[in-house]
Amino acid sequence: MAYDAAVLRRATQQLDQARKDREVRTEALRRRLYAQTPELADIDRQLKGTILDIISSALRKGADPGPALQVIKDKNMDLQRRQAQLLHEAGYPPDALDDAPTCKKCGDTGWVGTQMCDCLKALCAQEQVKELSRLLDLGEQSFDAFSLDWYSPLPWPGESVSPRENMELIRDVCFNYAQRFGKFLFPNLFLTGDPGLGKTFLSACMARTVAENGFSVVYDTAVNLFARFEEQKFSKDVQEGREAQSDTRRYLRCDLLILDDLGSELTTPMVQTSLYTLINTRLTQNRATVISSNLSMDGVRARYNGQTVSRIEGEYRTLRFYGEDIRLQRKSKI
């Protein structure tokens, strides 16, 4: 999973801080218990005794270290039993002073060899949702909050099903796409229809669910995305160019890219090239993409080059929204 570097950095910082906080709490507890029960401090000093020095001494004399090791082992077991008894009397479990890592799998490092541990993945997912929330107001945008009441149950001109029936199908497709991400029949979706019909809302719902399930998700508008591609290529500011390059890598490598409002950008040769590169690269790397647009498929054909259109038509499941503008409906009720 190609998490954004900033997301991974913040998640790692959380893991590090949690480890430091645990160490501070354990040390504070140790000092308090040692002050209350000095015998615990004495036991701790004995348990930290110089075992290696005893073994080395035995070896230098040519003696078998086995008996010495058994004596040390027996003594340590007695000390541990006494320590557990004293901790129990103080109201604490036997391992209260062990400072054991929260995650036994990785030792709170976040990594098992070269593989990211589940504990760090969970923190990355949390950070990703926070990142998406800044862009999409995810406080309200969830499948549970999606309402079909805004869509008419009456017949719609030129359509075989009502807006409500159509949206019920679209909602179910989007929900299953998000819940079964990576295993769903259609890896790519194209959401098309007039403004105010819920395309961005459902895109946000999918982004949230997929991110919460531990996949890397990047959401951006077409205007911002193509601006970053342009800055990467033409910016004279070195730092700005590097940041733009980092963003374009995220667009290309994340598990799920959600490109919102395609068609709102100025269609330049640079945009044509960038869009084709984006779509084609993600297809060849088997990375999923959701595109939303106010353009109809006829509008897409008129606006973008044949190679791009061919890939959208051939590789994306089109979900067509129709009905009355929800924003206008809400405004009329104020």
Token pair belonging to 54: 């005893």
pLDDT at 298: 94
pLDDT at 101: 81
Amino acid identity at 110: G
The whole-angstrom separation of Cα 4 and Cα 14 is: 16
Amino acid identity at 91: G
Bridge partner list, 289: 188, 257
Is there a contact between 142 and 128 (Cβ–Cβ < 8 Å)?
no
pLDDT at 242: 72
pLDDT at 62: 58
pLDDT at 139: 57
Element spanning 272, H or E: helix 269-284
The whole-angstrom separation of Cα 187 and Cα 173 is: 12
Is there a contact between 126 and 182 (Cβ–Cβ < 8 Å)?
no
pLDDT at 115: 84
Token pair belonging to 115: 């593989």
What lies within 8 Å, CB to CB, of 317 at 6+ separation is 173, 186, 188, 189, 190
pLDDT at 295: 95
What lies within 8 Å, CB to CB, of 45 at 6+ separation is none
User: Low-confidence residues of the chain, pLDDT below 50?
Assistant: none
The whole-angstrom separation of Cα 93 and Cα 84 is: 7
3-state secondary structure (DSSP) of residue 69? helix
User: Per-residue DSSP letters for 184-210?
Assistant: SS-SEEEEE-STTSSHHHHHHHHHHHH
The whole-angstrom separation of Cα 173 and Cα 161 is: 16
Can you give the residue ranges of every domain in the chain?
A: 5-105, 137-332
What is the reported pTM? 0.71
Q: Give the CA angle between residues 103, 109, 113 to the nearest 5°.
A: 100
The fourth-level CATH superfamily of domain 137-332 is P-loop containing nucleotide triphosphate hydrolases (3.40.50.300)
